[in-house]
Structure 1
Amino acid sequence: MNTALRITAFTAGLAAVFGLALGVGHATGTGPAEPRPATGHAAHSGPDTGHDSGHDGGHDSGSGAAAAEHLPGGLQVSERGYTLSVDNPFVTAGSPTDLRFRILGTDGRPVTAYQQEHEKELHLIVAPRDLSTFQHLHPTLAADGTWSATAAVPAAGEYRVFADFTPAGADEGLTLGADLHAAGDLRPAPLPDTGRTVTVDGYTVTLGGDLTPDRSSHLTLTISKDSTPITDLQPYLGAYGHLVALRAGDLAYLHVHPDTTTPGPGIGFTTTAPSGGSYRLFLDFQHQGTVHTAAFTVTTGDQQH
């Protein structure tokens, strides 16, 4: 299958192979109404239009040469003077883990004020290096700048924690990443072969679109249940769907917002991949007050199956 992702923030020299479906943060639905436009910096100033939006670290602002100056999101623990500091990166697998971390500012002190992006001040993604699981969490912020969240760490191994945020007063956001080490019996597994259709929580999600690297095209993820198309999706974090892509090998991060303005059954994303490689795609969608995550493995370019 020839599938691709639009990641114009990658530099031309990044040709490495671009490589979760566990619990995600749950949210209460607001009904099948039009999702309201996201607020924040300029790349989020209008409704989701299908462009990979926002943070120059993990999102594509679509600014051409300027965007190409930045590395993909999540590869660095420190960027533009901000640092992701995890209190304890060593945890034990098999039980819930209380994650505590801070975003240190350019003065070395914890940041305590943030702009709201897609209804939250910070989005936290947790994924293992083998990309077998995925969590989209929304931690709470204490007055001293400490963020906290409970994450599932089901198996031993190396995990990556992504903090996606925009500091108050900043023109644009960024995505920082840090390692999390889970002790236990390590049994790494290859990427699962999902094909174009997956089932999650009784929902069937089908991935449509044949794309090639360096060529803008369209992905559509269509949702049904018991062979009936779902037409009453609920907005989740201001949109009818959120697509996160992680590249196998280095876990470079991309968050894509849809161009869909109707509540199903299809959710469309405009995408382009910079090169061939293996990816994991994670679609978050909300129906009847519950958030679900559908996970796909896709391969692009010369490495397609």
Structure 2
Amino acid sequence: MNTGTKITAFAAALAATFGTAYGVGKGVGPVDEPPRAEHGDHAATAGTPEETAPGQAPAELPGGLQVSQDGYTLALETPAPPVGRSTLKFSVRDAAGEKVTAFATEHDKELHFIVASRDLTVFRHLHPEKAPDGTWTVEADLPRAGAYKAFADFKPAAKGAEALTLGVDLGVPGAYAPRPLPAPEPTATVDGYQVRLGGTLDPGKPGELRLTVSKGGEPVTDLEPHLGAYGHLVALRQGDLAYLHVHPNEGGPGPDVSFTATAPTPGTYRLFLDFRHEGEVRTAAFTVKAGDRTAAPAPSETAERDAGGHTHG
């Protein structure tokens, strides 16, 4: 789409459909291939049905690809916010359509809310507030027009309920020109901090990701706890924005922060590390190709600009 093309009509169409629960198909190959459909609990939106050998269980669907799962639905009340700072409202509905009001606390929060642009150059990790009726509200700064996706990561307090990550699209009206994904770099710079990425993101098996924080050439050894750990990592797959579950490992308070992550498929992923130091949370961003071992060139201007563009709410 050329610069200057208006997406107002597109956003209006999105607003008419986002309130309806729908399922999305499972990505089963490299992210540059069309997503395949999956039979069973998940409805397909594109591609052809995946062939599964007799008696073989289908692979688990990555998080964030469904607006409804296990009887819960992410209902976004503000699907077309304006450019700039605005208020987002949403709720989690149960199978009866009622707003869920009770959630288990995980990583110090009842619910984690992420908003990312479809081109993965804008990332917001927000902390909404819940009203007694189950409506969540949060202020978000969306700097450019275009297509975005919002994720709610939570666990209902109901007995037997599992942790879920649901995703829903939103569109910011205006002139839209997607930006290219920054090239893979093992070092990102944000607010004078350097964060170096080591390890691998492996397709189909757990791998360790190690992030080392320094400032002015000196290791940062007094990181502060953030969301129950010394760092919080979000990984999103380019294309469908599948949301990877990443688990922090023991350690701290720096300079190394370690996580275990599994890429569902080969492809390109965007990693966002939140870390707290001197009372402020900062985000370092990386582009990673699943299966590629990280190298060690100097940080680029692209990495510095991108890492500095993420905020928290």
Structure 1 or 2, whichever has the larger Rg, is 2
Bigger shift: residues 137-146 or 211-220: 211-220
1:115 to 104, 108, 113: 104
Determine the C-alpha separation between the residues in 1 that align with 2:123 and 2:156.
25
Q: Cα distance 1:143–1:274, how it changes in 2: closer, same or farther (>3 A)?
A: closer
Equivalent residue, structure 1, for 2:92: 103
Equivalent residue, structure 1, for 2:165: 175
Determine the C-alpha separation between the residues in 2 that align with 1:148 and 1:126.
13
- SS of alignment partner, residue 248 of structure 2: coil
Asked if 1:195 is matched to 2:209, the reply is no
1:292 to 261, 276, 282: 282
Determine the C-alpha separation between the residues in 2 that align with 1:266 and 1:136.
21
Q: Deviations over 1:89-136 (max 9, x none)?
A: 01221x111000111112111111111111111100000100001111
Following superposition, the deviation at residue 215 of structure 1 comes to 4.4
The amino acid that maps onto 2:100 is V
Determine the C-alpha separation between the residues in 2 that align with 1:170 and 1:188.
43
Following superposition, the deviation at residue 271 of structure 1 comes to 3.0
Asked if 1:280 is matched to 2:280, the reply is no
1:127 to 116, 128, 133: 116
Determine the C-alpha separation between the residues in 1 that align with 2:77 and 2:27.
34
Q: Cα distance 1:212–1:145, how it changes in 2: closer, same or farther (>3 A)?
A: closer
1:137 to 126, 129, 146: 126
Preserved contact between residue 239 and residue 257 of structure 1 (Cα < 8 Å): no
Q: Normalized against structure 1, the TM-score is what?
A: 0.75
Q: Deviations over 1:233-276 (max 9, x none)?
A: 11101101111100000000024132132200011122333332
Determine the C-alpha separation between the residues in 2 that align with 1:205 and 1:242.
13
Q: Normalized against structure 2, the TM-score is what?
A: 0.74
Determine the C-alpha separation between the residues in 2 that align with 1:135 and 1:109.
27
Q: What percentage of residue pairs aligned between the two structures are identical? A: 55
Following superposition, the deviation at residue 165 of structure 1 comes to 0.8
Q: Count residues in correspondence.
A: 248
Preserved contact between residue 233 and residue 246 of structure 2 (Cα < 8 Å): yes
Q: CA RMSD in A?
A: 2.6
Give 5+ residue unaligned stretches, structure 1: 1-10, 19-64
Equivalent residues in 2 for 1:214-253 (5 A)? Answer: 214-253=204-243
Equivalent residues in 2 for 1:142-181 (5 A)? Answer: 142-171=131-160, 172-181=162-171
Give 5+ residue unaligned stretches, structure 2: 1-24, 33-54, 296-313
The amino acid that maps onto 1:154 is P
Q: Deviations over 1:259-294 (max 9, x none)?
A: 132200011122333332100000111111111110
Following superposition, the deviation at residue 212 of structure 1 comes to 4.2
Name the structure, 1 or 2, with higher relative contact order (CA <8 Å, separation 6+).
Answer: 1
Following superposition, the deviation at residue 216 of structure 1 comes to 3.6
